[in-house]
Structure formats: C-alpha cells, structure tokens
Amino acid sequence: MKPATRWVGLLGAALAATAAAATFGLASIDGWSADEITLLASIRLQELPPAPPDTSNAYEASPAAASLGRQIFFDRRFSGNGSVSCASCHEPDRQFQDGKPLGQGMGTGARRTMPVVGAGYSPFLFWDGRKDSLWAQALGPLEDPAEHGGSRLAYTHLLKSHYRAEYEAVFGALPELDRLPEDASPLGTREQRAAWRSMSEDARQQVSRVFANIGKALAAYQKTLRHGESRLDRYVDGLVDRDPRAFAQLSAQEKNGLRIFIGKGQCITCHNGPLLTDQHFHNTGVAPRHPGQPDPGRRAALARVRDDEFNCLGRFSDAQPEQCEELRFLATDDHAMASAFKTPGLRNVALRAPYMHAGQIATLTGVVRHYAAAPPAQAGHSELKPVRLSESEVRDLVAFLGTLSAVAGPVHPSN
C-alpha cells in the first residue's frame, strides 16, 4: 500500500474512533482518543523513513559526490553572468528558499522558489512535477535563461579548471575539451545552439553526461539535508509516551487548530505523513498570478517529463527500465491535472511567506481563508469544498501551522 493511502486509512479509523470514544466514554489523553493519537503519531518527524533510493542516480549515497554537489550549490561561477548560484534562491538560512513571490535569477521566473529539504521524497519535482528525479531537476535551472542562464559546455569547462580532481574521483575522467567551443547547449541562445550543432554526436553525448553528473552530485548533497524537530513533534511524542510534561508544548488554541487540521478542515487528506504532503498534484482553485493567464500546472508537465532526455528511462539514467515505475505508468493526458500543483510539505511553513505556486497569497491567514471560501478554479476544476470556519477557528488553524516550525531549522548532518 502507498504511504499516502495508509495515512488516509488511519484518518478514517480515527474519525470512527472519535465517535466511539464519545459513545462509550473511552479514556483519552490530553483530549485525544487512541485512534486520533495513532493518526497524530503518523505525522511526527520520527516516523519519517529514509528517503527512497533513487536508482537512476548511482552516486546519491556517495559522500564525495555530496561534497562536490555542496560546493557547486554555492558556486556563482555556474551561471551565465557569474552571479547566480543555487543558493541565490535556495538560501540555507531561509530553509533553502528566498521568501519572494517569484524566483529571481538572471531574470524573473514564473513560479515561487520551493524549499529543497525533503525534496528527495518526491517522485516528481517542481510545482508541476516536470522532472522525475532530484538530479534531473537540478539541470533545469542551470540552463534556464531566467535562472543560472549558462550552458552545459561552459559548466564542463568550469569543472575541468576548478573541480577536476573532485569530479574525477567520483565520476571518472572528464572528456577532452580542447577543440570544443567555450559555450554550447541544445537549449540556449541561437549562438549556443549553433555551437552545439557544430559538435560531433559523440562530443555532445560526453558533455551531456558530465552535465547529468553535475545534477547527480547536487542531488547527493540535497539528499543530506534534514528537517529539525518542531513543537508539534515534541507534543505528539508526549501523547504517545503518555508524558504529561510535553502537553504544554502546544497552547489550547494550537491544539484546537490541530483538531481542525485533522478533522473538519480535512487538511490532512492532502497534507499527511511526516512531511505533511501526499506528494500528489491537486487543483485547489488558487487564482493565477496574472488574471486571464492560467498556469496549466501538472497537465502540461506530463508530456514534458515523459520526453525529458534526463528522465529515468533516458541514456543518462543509472536505473534499469523496470525500476522506472513512476514514469512507465504515467498517464500523459489527464484532464483532472489541469492547473494542479504539488501539495507542498508544511514543515516550517510559517517561516516562508508568501504562499502558493506563484506567491499569490501573502499570509497564512489568507491561505486559511482561501480554504474556507474554496473559490471555483479559473482553469480546470478545484477539488476543494468550502470549510465552514469561524473567525476564531481561522486564528486557531493559523496558530497551529506555527507549531510546525523547527527551532534549529534545517541541519547539515555530520558526513
């Protein structure tokens, strides 16, 4: 059974059990029934299993690859103008995001920067899931003119002049580059594309392989990032261990917000598991940033991920074809996915306004009001049903979302 399905199953059991507890007067702990506690226990950080291995990246568990990836992540030379690194938008002391409504690199993007901690749990990356691995994802911004705006050949030269030993220790010898142009890519400017066409098929493949390896090193680094423990985790640990000293971790208002979150707010149907996401895509009727220009979201990304040269079934993947289940069983035309976006995890959510895929909503109060109103979608169909919430319940839910912040923030492990 998929984890998400398991958690939804627990939800049903908890709701039934609440009714049973009310009828039969079963004992509760700090006001929660045994089945509610089972459900709450499932969202604790403790329950987070190790991220599933990515069979398309043979280097993801290599500390040497992660160390190279960390250096590239912060190195601004990997850009068209020498001033953009991954960390320009994914700032470590801001949960690896930037607090802006739209990503800002060499230009302005169309969507909001996503936090990267926990991204290794997602079968599909980006708000629309147009990449099927963390390493393939990293290659997008590197050649996007609005982000790093550089080319795969320029990056290969850069590796050779600055990271040769580190690279070759992990991935083997870099190709001979002396007779190749400085700058070339199949995706870039007219000049970059012309230069790419002038190269032999063999040289193009070797450069694309180095480019894929840059992604694999970046993925290995990002997979080492972890969430810190939040007050909610400590509270639920206390419920599970029946330790009354932990009951004060949450205020009465926050506990009421939690009750709404798992109860009548139905938030947990999509925001479930220890990361508070089902890793699926939903249309929740969030208005496009520019009225009249709807973002097609997941629906338009389905063909893109299928056709991506860097996907799990492609020549740069380390997986056997039968290991690429997510991709092989992908329905590539799905009306229900029109303007659907990935459910974001909610850990640390109070620390990263503005919200939604293009920063359309400025505050958490605004987000909760959106769920209360459940407006019809401007494109596709919203899955939401209005939730009747009083003003004080809106405040309770917002207060609860604040309990998901980690005191220590994302931490680097010792390796």
Nearest distance, CB of residue 26 and ligand HEC, angstroms: 27
Residue showing tokens 């142009």: 181
Q: Among residues 90 and 259, whose Cβ is nearest to ligand HEC?
A: 90
Taking alpha carbons only, the member of 146, 141, 156 closest to residue 199 is 156
Do residues 184 and 153 make contact, with C-beta atoms less than 8 angstroms apart?
yes
Give residue 224's identity as a one-letter amino acid code. Answer: T
Nearest distance, CB of residue 105 and ligand HEC, angstroms: 3
Please give the angle made by the CA atoms of 13, 240 and 41, to the nearest 5 degrees. 50
Burial class (CB in 10 A: 0-12, 13-18, 19+), 413: exposed
Which residues are near ligand HEC by CB under 6 A?
A: 84, 86, 88-90, 103-105, 109, 111-114, 116, 119, 122, 125-128, 134, 137-138, 141-142, 147-148, 218, 222, 265-267, 269-271, 282, 284, 286, 341, 343-344, 346, 349, 355-357, 364, 367-368, 371, 383-384, 387, 397, 401
d(CA 323, CA 313): 9
Q: Among residues 236 and 276, whose Cβ is nearest to ligand HEC?
A: 276
Q: Among residues 246 and 346, whose Cβ is nearest to ligand HEC?
A: 346
The conformational region for residue 199 under phi > 0 = left, psi -120 to 50 = alpha, else beta, is beta
Token pair for residue 261? 């979150």
Nearest distance, CB of residue 218 and ligand HEC, angstroms: 4
d(CA 98, CA 81): 20
Do residues 89 and 97 make contact, with C-beta atoms less than 8 angstroms apart?
yes
Nearest distance, CB of residue 247 and ligand HEC, angstroms: 23
Do residues 294 and 288 make contact, with C-beta atoms less than 8 angstroms apart?
yes
Nearest distance, CB of residue 40 and ligand HEC, angstroms: 16
Q: Which residues of 122-159 are buried (b: 16+ CB within 10 A; e: fewer)?
A: bbbbbbbbbbbbbbbbbbbbbbbebbbbbbbbbbbbbb
Nearest distance, CB of residue 6 and ligand HEC, angstroms: 17
Nearest distance, CB of residue 52 and ligand HEC, angstroms: 14
Nearest distance, CB of residue 35 and ligand HEC, angstroms: 20
Q: Among residues 195 and 268, whose Cβ is nearest to ligand HEC?
A: 268
Residue 91 CB neighbours (<10 A): 14
The sign of the dihedral angle between the CA atoms of 319, 282, 91, 82 is positive
Residue showing tokens 């001033």: 83
Q: Among residues 128 and 203, whose Cβ is nearest to ligand HEC?
A: 128
Q: Among residues 155 and 196, whose Cβ is nearest to ligand HEC?
A: 155
Give residue 266's identity as a one-letter amino acid code. Answer: Q
Q: Among residues 203 and 282, whose Cβ is nearest to ligand HEC?
A: 282
Q: Among residues 203 and 389, whose Cβ is nearest to ligand HEC?
A: 389
d(CA 48, CA 52): 11
Nearest distance, CB of residue 334 and ligand HEC, angstroms: 15
Q: Among residues 203 and 384, whose Cβ is nearest to ligand HEC?
A: 384
